[in-house]
Amino acid sequence: MSPFDTALLAHTCVLELANGERIELPARRWAADPGRGDELMLARCTGPTLDIGCGPGRLTSELTARGVSSLGIDVSRTAVRLTRTRGGSALRRDVFDRVPGEGRWQHALLADGNIGIGGDPVRLLRRVRELLAPDGRVLIEVEPGRQFRRGHVRVGNSSWFPWAWLGVDALDDIAHTASLEVAWTGSHGSRHFTELAVE
């Protein structure tokens, strides 16, 4: 079992950066029922939705319960198992590999900072565009402020992997470079969300 799988089961997850900085991630929120911040994203998912980096499946399973066709993907076997246990559909997939329904998803979710997957938000968003239907939208949770940084991180004694952090005020340039535009923004407490559409 990987350190990330162990963290999911323990409801505690800490990212260690190469410079020694440690960032505690909201693993308890991942395991809980969707909250009011999550609802800002969920309410905008009206058609087939791909939850990228679904973790233990709180969003995928909630969409399924609402009658919205949804699929979670995650590189973690434990995440996939937990999502299925909660009643959602999930597959063990890397978003950059082959994904079912390419070009047909109405919505894609990058919640809980998953815009950082791969350490390159532009590359990730371009890949997500390939997965979406022509009129599809991507919903992203971003950081407060102007922050955009990238680096290598690890969980426990895992191998180092690339990650990125994207602040809400740095989003426009990243989205434009990926040929997307901001269609909506919202916030709840310290959480910030945006919806991007194809330009």
Tell me, what CATH number does 175's domain have? 3.40.50.150
Span 124-134, mean pLDDT?
Answer: 97
Tokens standing for residue 171: 């989003």
- Residue 152 to residue 159: CA distance in whole angstroms: 10
What is the total count of domains within the chain?
1
- Give me the percent of the chain exceeding a pLDDT of 70: 100
Query: Three-class SS of residue 23?
Result: strand
Contacts of 2 (CB under 8 A, 6+ apart): 76, 78, 155, 158
- Residue 185 to residue 161: CA distance in whole angstroms: 29
Contact 129/178 with Cβ under 8 angstroms?
Answer: yes
Tokens standing for residue 76: 């973690």
pTM of the model: 0.96
Span 105-128, mean pLDDT?
Answer: 97
Q: What is the pLDDT of residue 136?
A: 97
Q: What is the pLDDT of residue 1?
A: 77
Q: What is the pLDDT of residue 3?
A: 82
Query: Three-class SS of residue 183?
Result: strand
- Residue 75 to residue 79: CA distance in whole angstroms: 8
- Residue 71 to residue 3: CA distance in whole angstroms: 24
52 membership: H or E segment, kind and range: strand 49-52
Contact 19/154 with Cβ under 8 angstroms?
Answer: no
Domain that holds residue 52: 3-198
